[in-house]
A and B are shown apart, each in its own frame.
Chain A
């Protein structure tokens, strides 16, 4: 029985090392790009202590880690850019944008709302024309 558990343990270890090794290379690249890029927004931020800076750096690196895979997938899928090579530059770019993401997302949401409003207005005009609403004009 002991032998079996040892074998199982070895197998699990081997599987873990294989899986972690496969993923960790990518993550090292992403974290390198993210940390290097996040120094730029950090240098502009009005941080008082090193702890505040470290927290901001952590936030930026985590944001870059979360978004890089998705952006790399989109680039590979639509632009045929190999994801493995694009990871560091993408993480760097995401981190350089830094804490301005909120403003960018706000702008995108505003643009989408304006677009939806314009489409809605066009549809309303067309429907009213179809229903004979243009007789009043």
Chain B
């Protein structure tokens, strides 16, 4: 059961990362892009780990993913009009 909850939370987390990288571009700070890439990769790996590598989900790992998803979701209104200017190297 926890594996499936973890799958759902991690898939949602990956979706938030995907939506953000859709709005970033070459002008966005490299560190932000790298952070989103790592988070997307980690969420994807965590989602498929129980089936792909027989690593079961843990309550703490799922809670951590849920926390990250909540953070991403609560900050999403900053991204409504595109990539926030404060993380762009030179505003266009």
A interface list, Cβ under 8 A from B: 25, 28-29, 32, 35-37, 39-40, 42-47, 49-50, 52-53, 57
Q: Which 8 A-B pairs have the closest CB atoms?
A: A36-B41, A43-B33, A43-B21, A53-B22, A39-B40, A39-B37, A43-B24, A40-B37
Residues of B with Cβ closer than 8 Å to A? 17-19, 21-22, 24-26, 28, 33-34, 36-37, 40-41, 44-45, 48, 51-52
Q: Is the CB of A43 within 8 A of B36?
A: yes
Would you call A43 and B48 a contact (CB within 8 A)?
no
Question: Quick one: closest A residue to B43, CB to CB?
Answer: A36
* Interface class of chain B by DSSP: helix
A43→B28 contact, CB < 8 A = yes
Assuming the contacts A32-B45, A32-B48, asked whether A53 and B18 have C-beta atoms less than 8 A apart, the reply is yes
Complex-state Cα separation, A42 to B36, whole angstroms:
11
Q: Quick check: A28 and B28 within 8 Å, CB to CB?
A: no
* Cα distance A59–B19 in the bound complex, in angstroms: 18
Q: Could you say which of B18, B25, B41 contacts A46, with CB atoms under 8 Å apart?
A: B25
Assess whether A40 is in contact with B48, with CB atoms less than 8 Å apart: no
Name the A residues within 8 Å of B48 (CB-CB).
28, 32
Docked-complex contact A44 and B25, CB < 8 angstroms: yes
